[in-house]
Structure 1
Amino acid sequence: MTTLTVIGIFCVLALIIGVGILSSRKVKDEKDFINGGGKAGSLLLCGAIMGSLVSSQATIGTAQLAFNYGLAAWWFTLGAGIGCLFLAVVYVRPLRRSSCMTELQVISEEYGALPGKLGSVLCSIGIFISVLAQVVACAGLITVLFPQVSIPAAAVLSIAVMCVYVIFGGSWGAGMGGVVKLILLCIASIAGLIFVLVSSGGVSGLLGGLKHLLAGTDLGLIQKSANGLNNLNTASDVSNRFVNLIARGAAKDLGSGLSLVLGVLSTQTYAQAIWCGKSDKVSRRGALLSACLIPPIGIAGTAIGLFMRAHYITQAEVAALANAGLPAPQLPVLANTIQVFPSFLLNHMPHLFAGIVLGTLFISVVGGGAGLSLGMATIMVKDIFNKITFKNSEKRRTGAPRTELLVTRCTIAGILLVSAVIAATVSDTTINDMGFLSMGLRAAVVFVPLSCALFLRGRINQRCALLSIVISPLAVIFGSFLNLSFDPLFLGLAVALLICAIGYFIPRKKEAVLQGKREEATL
């Protein structure tokens, strides 16, 4: 890595740190910290959403998956964009009219304190797994760029930047940092896409390069032993894998897309951005802007992954060819596929620009972890801390401004510190596998009860809602051990829908309608 690359990286880091410090001046109380005081515009709201949603999986992960599966890697950003579209069109007005500050508050006010508290705990666990994945990815990126830095040191550096990103400015910091990152990421994506298309001779040239390298060649015929993928015997096999939205199977890829849609609707971080807006119209525009901008970033990442597949091989493929007594192509070797995106930047882009993009990539991962930690802290403080600390029901809802601001900041710091400790000892592979479980847990806990609370007020029996919140995530966990041909999230959603459908036909007695208030009074 050249001096210009390092300068580019540190210029971006300095810019983001400056934005974080500047945003702290806008925080006067906990409302400013949690939801920007409800004063954010559409661009700031879009920055808050994309700052968390466009992170390691949307950038590093998309290029990594495209290296092996091509167009199917688009599902993460495509599903995220569709989720933002549903958030804008269907959920903005009901969420804002609920006058709540967390999704679990919406559930608690409809079904009572116990469903809300259990949902808060389960949802926090799911979000924490994603925060942990972001810290691991961030630490991994640091060690790729600076091999001399140890994993523990990289994890500490990761959470330090995350703290600056969000802990001082809260929603303002996440939003303003997200806007800066959004601009840099869009420029990087456009530049990367243009380079790939020009250097490859367009889409047809890119596909031709893949077929030349893989169709019926020694490298194409050792894919099973090297990568656990089907061998590529013909040009048709190459097209079916790399130019196919459901290359991993319809159930797998469509399920991945749907899990992203429901994940956006079930995660506190993105609902929190909606509450930041000045009005319903502003919030809707911010979510719609996110829906338009996220999928193209995925297209750029996919194109980069395909370009790298046509010009690089992995260490595992070199070993498989050697075991088969075959020579390896004279191509650069990647130690593992997580290096796809960083290697593209370091080896194929101008040095200063590569540094700026790498810095942006680092901030993308940082923003994801910071935004998710803010959402988790909000749930823990609003839905757990306040209910334990304050006797008065209105205080439970609003909290004591100074105390709550301090507790929220300390909670964010604690979440990130625990994540760093775990990240220093847990492997990347384990965290990536748990990421799917995280998305399933959040959607299983929140999506169906929340939707019923917003659109079927007073219609669902409270005990059935409670059963849905408890049993649905257990179904997801159980399904993850069964090696199902589809995402275990579907099993959890089916259970939630069935239980809530039964609850729809069980009348809510007048006493049941007041049950939530009685539970609040006894806490």
Structure 2
Amino acid sequence: MELSLLQLIIILLTIGIVIGIGLYAARSVHSSEGYSLGGRSAGVPLVAGSIAGTCVGGGATVGTAQLASTIGLSAWWFTLGTGISLIIMGLFYAKPLRSTALETIPQYLTLNYGKSAGSFTSLCSSLGILFSAVASCLPAIAIISVLLQVSSWTAAVILLVLVACYSFFGGMKTAGVGGILKMAVIWVSLFVAGGSAFYTIHTEPGFMEALPSYPWFSLFGSGVPSAMANLFSLIVGMLCTQTYIQALFSASNPDTAAAGAFSAALVTIPVGLPCAMIGMYMHVTRPDVAPILVLPTFLLEHQSSLIGGIAMGGIILSLIGSIAGLSLGIGTMLSRDIFAKLFRVTSDAASLRLTRFVVLGVILCASAISILNEGSQILFWNYLSMALRGGGIFLPFTLAIIKPHAVSPSWAVASMVFSTAAAIIAAVMKAPIHPLFIGLAVSLVILIIGYIRTTHKQQ
């Protein structure tokens, strides 16, 4: 994959302009709440930008093209599922959550089930979100390494600097502003590039015949059960992710939070389609290219320098923004719910410093895991992440929103611990049933028993 000087300049300008505007917006961040929640004054565009800017990362772009080059159109399910999750979030979760004055999911669970529930959620959810950050670090390191002809470790250092510039100083404010700009770049450039791939596939003689048969163009090419399992895992994982809930908490009011989730869904759903078209195009024209490099190779070798350079800048920004947003979510949870209590942090200035350095530590950890797992499937990490952070938390969290204090704290914590353990054991033992479903089943059984026992005691 060759990179011309003009393409490099366009890529650097695209990245520099977006990060520069984000850093300019970060000038107004002087408090802990301003860093993690943008001062709770975000309008619909900033809420939507924060959410879409994070969830449209490595899985939605590079990962979708990577998978589409192998299985076809069904790779689109990742962004479809993400959009469906955001619609559900806007309908049922946004208003009740924003009606509180909280900052994190663990705080909400602590309010309903006690401190043990909050602490367990912080640790378990942070690990799950970390795996999602890995899913964006993998392609980011690979792309930077190939484009600049440097080692993986050097690429990781460059990525660390870019992500730090994006999130370290401005937090949620930068994530919102950068998310809006990033999505504008991706939407325009990817749909132009994907449109050219779609046109070639359907007009060039012999192209359709060179692709695999019918399932290649079906959303259920990998089977209905597999597609539905992946969709459900996305829904569960998205609704339990601190980063997206944090964006809702940053909204100026409950209605704005709901509208922001709906807007993010409308922006996110279509993004996977041009990436899928590009993956299928490359399956025929460049079968020699490593799947993880399918999208960048197409943009740099099969598009004009202007479109390809802008699109590549947008792709790198999508990876940077996703890593930054996810790291911000983990950093907020761990600093607020674990480290602030452990180190007895009370001042706002100290809390701000703590959150920033925890975010930086998360970025370092995600980069290291990515280097040690080079060549792994990007969407594998995304789906594993969704299962881990959703299996033990989704049902107690949802129950707390729909019917607060319906079960006693001891039963809620038991549900979280045993369901998470069941999901991990199922994954290690390679059970024929999706680990997420095993975890949810265990959680449901314990919560039903707990609900009956709690109701009986209250009578």
TM interval, shorter chain, is over 0.9
Cα deviation code 1:42-82 (max 9, x no counterpart) = 11111100111000010011111111111110110000000
Structure 2 letter corresponding to 1:360: G
Structure 1 letter corresponding to 2:9: I
* Structure 1 residue 441 corresponds to structure 2 residue 388: yes
Structure 1 counterpart of 2:16, from 14, 17, 23: 14
Q: How does 1:335-354 map to 2 (within 5 A)?
A: 336-354=290-308
Q: How does 1:287-302 map to 2 (within 5 A)?
A: 287-302=261-276
Check conservation: 2:63, 2:379, Cα contact below 8 A. Answer: no
**Aligned-residue CA RMSD in angstroms?**
2.0
SS in 2 for 1:373: helix
Q: Separation in 2 of the partners of 1:497 and 1:509? A: 18
Q: Would the alpha carbon gap of residues 112 and 359 (structure 1) be closer, same or farther in structure 2, given more than 3 Å must change?
A: same
- TM-superposed CA distance for 1:486, in Å, is 4.3
Check conservation: 2:26, 2:173, Cα contact below 8 A. Answer: yes
SS in 2 for 1:169: coil
Structure 2 letter corresponding to 1:361: I
Structure 2 counterpart of 1:387, from 341, 348, 352: 341
Rg: which structure is higher? 1
Q: How does 1:278-317 map to 2 (within 5 A)?
A: 278-313=252-287
The match for 2:208 is: 210
- TM-superposed CA distance for 1:433, in Å, is 4.0
SS in 2 for 1:506: helix
Check conservation: 2:139, 2:292, Cα contact below 8 A. Answer: no
Pick which of 76-85 and 347-356 moved more.
347-356
Check conservation: 1:255, 1:486, Cα contact below 8 A. Answer: no
Check conservation: 1:458, 1:508, Cα contact below 8 A. Answer: no
The match for 2:193 is: 192
Check conservation: 1:137, 1:428, Cα contact below 8 A. Answer: no
Q: How does 1:220-231 map to 2 (within 5 A)?
A: none
Q: Separation in 2 of the partners of 1:443 and 1:350? A: 42
Cα deviation code 1:383-404 (max 9, x no counterpart) = 11233344xxxxx9xx531111
Q: Separation in 2 of the partners of 1:421 and 1:312? A: 30
Check conservation: 1:136, 1:155, Cα contact below 8 A. Answer: no
Q: Would the alpha carbon gap of residues 163 and 258 (structure 1) be closer, same or farther in structure 2, given more than 3 Å must change?
A: same
- TM-superposed CA distance for 1:130, in Å, is 2.0
Structure 1 letter corresponding to 2:214: S
Structure 2 letter corresponding to 1:452: L
Q: Separation in 2 of the partners of 1:132 and 1:196? A: 29
Query: TM-score when scaled to structure 1?
Result: 0.83
Structure 2 letter corresponding to 1:162: V
Q: Separation in 1 of the partners of 2:332 and 2:392? A: 17
The match for 1:361 is: 315
Structure 1 letter corresponding to 2:262: L
Structure 2 letter corresponding to 1:145: L
Structure 1 letter corresponding to 2:193: G
Q: How does 1:82-121 map to 2 (within 5 A)?
A: 82-121=84-123
SS in 2 for 1:380: helix
- TM-superposed CA distance for 1:310, in Å, is 2.8
Cα deviation code 1:274-302 (max 9, x no counterpart) = 01111122111111111111111111111
Check conservation: 2:171, 2:328, Cα contact below 8 A. Answer: yes
Pick which of 425-434 and 465-474 moved more.
425-434
Structure 2 counterpart of 1:127, from 123, 129, 147: 129
Q: Would the alpha carbon gap of residues 480 and 145 (structure 1) be closer, same or farther in structure 2, given more than 3 Å must change?
A: same
Structure 2 letter corresponding to 1:129: F
The match for 2:178 is: 177
- TM-superposed CA distance for 1:210, in Å, is 3.4
Structure 1 letter corresponding to 2:258: R
Check conservation: 2:237, 2:385, Cα contact below 8 A. Answer: no
Pick which of 264-273 and 278-287 moved more.
278-287
Structure 1 counterpart of 2:351, from 399, 404, 408: 404
Structure 2 letter corresponding to 1:2: S
The match for 2:249 is: 275
Q: Separation in 2 of the partners of 1:389 and 1:258? A: 38
* Structure 1 residue 253 corresponds to structure 2 residue 200: no
* Structure 1 residue 370 corresponds to structure 2 residue 371: no
Q: How many percent of aligned residue pairs carry the same amino acid?
A: 33
Cα deviation code 1:336-361 (max 9, x no counterpart) = 11121111101111112211111110
Q: Would the alpha carbon gap of residues 365 and 101 (structure 1) be closer, same or farther in structure 2, given more than 3 Å must change?
A: same
Unaligned runs of 5+ in 1: 215-231, 233-237, 314-332, 391-395, 513-523
The match for 1:59 is: 61
Check conservation: 1:87, 1:265, Cα contact below 8 A. Answer: yes
Structure 2 letter corresponding to 1:271: I
SS in 2 for 1:245: coil
Cα deviation code 1:157-215 (max 9, x no counterpart) = 1111111101110000111110110100110122023212333346xx69x6232x25x
SS in 1 for 2:384: helix
- TM-superposed CA distance for 1:432, in Å, is 5.7
Q: Separation in 2 of the partners of 1:55 and 1:264? A: 14
Q: Separation in 2 of the partners of 1:209 and 1:294? A: 29
Q: Separation in 1 of the partners of 2:371 and 2:221? A: 34
- TM-superposed CA distance for 1:145, in Å, is 1.8
Q: Separation in 2 of the partners of 1:423 and 1:201? A: 37
* Structure 1 residue 144 corresponds to structure 2 residue 146: yes
Check conservation: 2:190, 2:311, Cα contact below 8 A. Answer: no
* Structure 1 residue 157 corresponds to structure 2 residue 176: no
Check conservation: 1:159, 1:416, Cα contact below 8 A. Answer: yes
The match for 1:317 is: none
Q: Separation in 1 of the partners of 2:317 and 2:285? A: 27
The match for 1:239 is: 214
Structure 1 letter corresponding to 2:154: A
SS in 2 for 1:458: coil
Q: Separation in 2 of the partners of 1:273 and 1:294? A: 15
- TM-superposed CA distance for 1:508, in Å, is 6.3
Unaligned runs of 5+ in 2: none
Structure 1 letter corresponding to 2:388: L
Check conservation: 1:56, 1:368, Cα contact below 8 A. Answer: yes
- TM-superposed CA distance for 1:142, in Å, is 0.8
Structure 2 counterpart of 1:472, from 419, 426, 434: 419
SS in 2 for 1:423: helix
Cα deviation code 1:358-377 (max 9, x no counterpart) = 11101101111100000000
Structure 1 letter corresponding to 2:279: G
Q: Separation in 2 of the partners of 1:494 and 1:263? A: 15
Check conservation: 2:99, 2:253, Cα contact below 8 A. Answer: no
Count of aligned pairs between the two proteins: 456
* Structure 1 residue 168 corresponds to structure 2 residue 158: no
Structure 1 letter corresponding to 2:137: V
